Structure 1
């Protein structure tokens, strides 16, 4: 006679409880809201909370204070060596962890230190308004302080532990305005193709010495190296690269003109070279003009990338960005006499 096979009954998976280790219990006990009272006023803040809270090391206590997670008598204290007075109330808010907040605080640059303002940012691209006088990217000579370095610090402060900033196009050091970076290699490749095929549109505002003969024109001089080694408009089709610049006069002054400019190609110094070639160098131009002439004295080069149009590299959405004219640009223009 065959005996029936026994049926083994196990508790359903949902009924099983996660293993509670000693480290988990301690971690859960640490990462919550703590309220302490100072009984030993001779200790610095970090040492005091490390002594009072189990499993909080002195180094982690320092991080917690620097991350602005600790307050003394209702005021946030960021100095780990601060010595609270007897009876002071200490509040430690570790509910969201310590290390993450410390990293954000550590890398966050001060707002006044940033050489740019952020116009747009998502997980694929970031568009900024770059200030004049700062490099878009480090040079081959090793010159540092580029806007890309500050941007990586800013992204770390937003919680990106390993930020990627891919170069798509650049602005001259003396030029301000819209500048786009990718945040992934995939987005960088897509945007690089878009810019190479002139799918992205870049518009500038500038003030030039004198004024063009035409109120609207297109400049097509090929750009290469002149005999002195500087970039210039050249006649040699082999040595020069195709360059197309469209401009329109907005208003004319006694000795200067304000222009709207649109790039169809993106050669190095293209607008600056084309304007100088027709006898209207940009005011404040340090290379292709005569900056010591009375008509060219300015606090900076008067060239600003005020608009950028592109398709989002992942979603394909058409995007338009505008960077307002800088204060020094507006002030200089206001000081020009009417024609």
Structure 2
């Protein structure tokens, strides 16, 4: 079964995704964009893009398919495994892959791929996150550490809590900087006006991000960011907060930005102590091709 909505445009103006988000509070703007992409929203019985601007007397039909029930199913999806031993797996997650099943993303996730790769994943108290001790966003690429047993989960989670692990990100951001480095210390919590977003809020959780300016271009900069804490969307929220949103960020950035497959944010370096031996392990991976292409174009324009 699917839910179906129909509405006629009277005085509303603007992009269809924004108009529908205001008209149907139960649907987020990102969910509406997914429905548009899947051709489940019609205007006068015709398919339109999310950039379509509504016209008076438009008849809009919205079909919302029923979400699939969550189930942990192994899927034969290729994985870029950087390191693996009896306790941990370090994987280079591609841009566009969700880390674990959730409402709206019941399958084709990193967890589905890991379940096909190995039967040894630490159990998760949440149920649908076996092995997962930290996450990166769907459209953020890069390194994740995965626990294969309870001992490894406890060790890796403790390292995250005590801030003794190492996580470095590369980000292409809007604007230029007068300083070479800085620290953003601002609490993060749920956005009071949009529950799908995070924001800097007075009663939020402690969040600290360090950044170093690596290169500057015309209207853009390349940063290295180091997480001291690990809040949801932390780097994206913090950089937008100081006026330098991550390029390509559909949630926190401007519409006029670098063309790509989402935010230009890459988890480049990951370091931690091996749970059994205590040996320090550190790994680094290159950003995806689209990231390197846009970086090369920015350098060329700045010469």
1:154 equivalenced with 2:128 (yes/no): no
Describe how 1:79-228 pairs up with structure 2 within 5 A.
109=76, 113-114=77-78, 116-141=79-104, 143-155=106-118, 160=119, 163-164=121-122, 165-228=130-193
Q: CA RMSD in A?
A: 1.8
Q: Give SS of 1:192's match.
A: helix
What is the rounded CA distance, in whole Å, between the counterparts of 2:218 and 2:260 in structure 1? 16
Structure 1 residue 141: Cα displacement: 4.8
Pick closer, same or farther for the CA change 1:268–1:210 going to 2, 3 Å.
Answer: same
1:264 equivalenced with 2:228 (yes/no): yes
Give the greater-gyration-radius structure (CA). Answer: 1
Q: Give yes or no for contact 1:275–1:282 (8 Å, CA) kept in 2.
A: yes
- 1:163-198, Cα deviation, whole Å (9 max, x unpaired): 544111001001010001010012111111111111
What is the rounded CA distance, in whole Å, between the counterparts of 1:184 and 1:140 in structure 2? 26
What is the rounded CA distance, in whole Å, between the counterparts of 2:166 and 2:244 in structure 1? 23
Please, which of 289, 296, 300 is the counterpart of residue 334 of structure 1? 296
What is the rounded CA distance, in whole Å, between the counterparts of 1:222 and 1:187 in structure 2? 29
1:232 equivalenced with 2:232 (yes/no): no
Provide structure 1 residue ranges, at least 5 long, that are not aligned to the other structure: 1-106
What is the rounded CA distance, in whole Å, between the counterparts of 1:118 and 1:166 in structure 2? 14
Q: 2:240 — aligned with what? A: 276
What is the rounded CA distance, in whole Å, between the counterparts of 2:121 and 2:272 in structure 1? 22
- 1:227-247, Cα deviation, whole Å (9 max, x unpaired): 31331112x2xx211100000
Q: Give SS of 1:188's match.
A: helix
1:252 equivalenced with 2:216 (yes/no): yes
Q: 2:249 — aligned with what? A: 285
Tell me the number of residue pairs that the alignment of Structure 1 and Structure 2 aligns.
219
Provide structure 2 residue ranges, at least 5 long, that are not aligned to the other structure: 1-73, 123-129
Q: Give yes or no for contact 1:212–1:278 (8 Å, CA) kept in 2.
A: no
What is the rounded CA distance, in whole Å, between the counterparts of 2:281 and 2:152 in structure 1? 15
Q: 2:280 — aligned with what? A: 318
